[in-house]
Amino acid sequence: MFFENTPGAVSNLSLTRALRDVTEASGNQYYSSAVGEVNVVVQMKAVHAIIGGEGNGGIIYPELHYGRDALVGIALFLTHLAKFGKSTSMLRASYPNYFISKNKIELTPDLNVDEILSRMAQKYERQPVNTIDGVKIEFDTSWVHLRKSNTEPIIRIYAEAENMSTADSLANKIIGDIKELSAELLTNS
């Protein structure tokens, strides 16, 4: 496994569950952070993680520096591939498969997005919910992450599952919940 002999790894809430699976399968601790390179780095420093990921192929590897660096990711990948001793496709097949559905819902400017996110967290309170950056709701083999935009009245909805149709269905279910909640909030205002 890629994370062998590491005290832990950090990635943001919107990245694949495969990172957690691989880290934990190697007997190490996985930590999540809010989206944004600086948030990943802060969490890495707090837990003394030796590797982190923010997305877009950039790896944060403090042994070299605390910055996202795609070349470091390439070097680590090629080193691991050489040690693995098999083809790239065989290496890829050794990791979990997940599919991410990326969506957004546009809201009217008069809706309180923070209220919608808070109510969504309440609606799914029986599930593990993380609110460090929007609302992330965990299910058995899937998750959905809701984040508001700072520049426009939208909520980004990322859903991940073991197949694309399940990820899309989960995203559509959450979009339906948000539409229903938005209508309720507009009616009561």
Q: How far is CA 110 from CA 92, 113, 116, in A?
A: 46, 9, 12
Q: Average pLDDT for residues 109-137, to the nearest whole number?
A: 95
Is pLDDT of 2 > 60?
Answer: no
Confidence at residue 1, expressed as pLDDT on a 0 to 100 scale: 45
pLDDT for 126 beyond 90: yes
Distance between CA atoms of residues 50 and 141, nearest Å? 26
- At residue 185, the pLDDT reads 83
Q: What is the mean pLDDT of the chain?
A: 92
Please give the Cα distance from 39 to 152 (Å, whole number).
22
Q: Taking 70 as the threshold, does the pLDDT of residue 5 lie above it?
A: no
pTM given for the model: 0.88
Strands (E), 76-184: 99-106, 129-130, 135-138, 143-148, 154-161
- Residue 51, sorted as left (phi over 0), alpha (psi -120 to 50) or beta, turns out to be beta
Cα distance between residue 143 and residue 129, in whole Å: 10
| Secondary structure (3-state) at 51 | strand
Q: How many whole angstroms separate alpha carbon 169 and alpha carbon 45?
A: 37
Going by pLDDT thresholds of 50, 70 and 90, the confidence category of residue 102 is: very high
Q: Kindly report which listed range (101-105, 107-111, 119-123) carries the lowest average pLDDT score.
A: 107-111
pLDDT for residue 88 is more than 80: yes
Query: What domains, with CATH codes, occur in the chain?
Result: 8-93 (3.40.120.10), 99-188 (3.30.310.50)
- Lowest-confidence region among 2-11, 129-138, 148-157: 2-11
For the chain, strand residue ranges (E) read 8-12, 29-33, 51-55, 58-61, 65-69, 99-106, 129-130, 135-138, 143-148, 154-161
Per-residue pLDDT reduced to its tens digit, 51-81: 999 887 789 999 999 999 999 989 999 999 9
pLDDT of residue 187: 82
Q: Whose CA is closest to 22, among 33, 11, 35?
A: 11
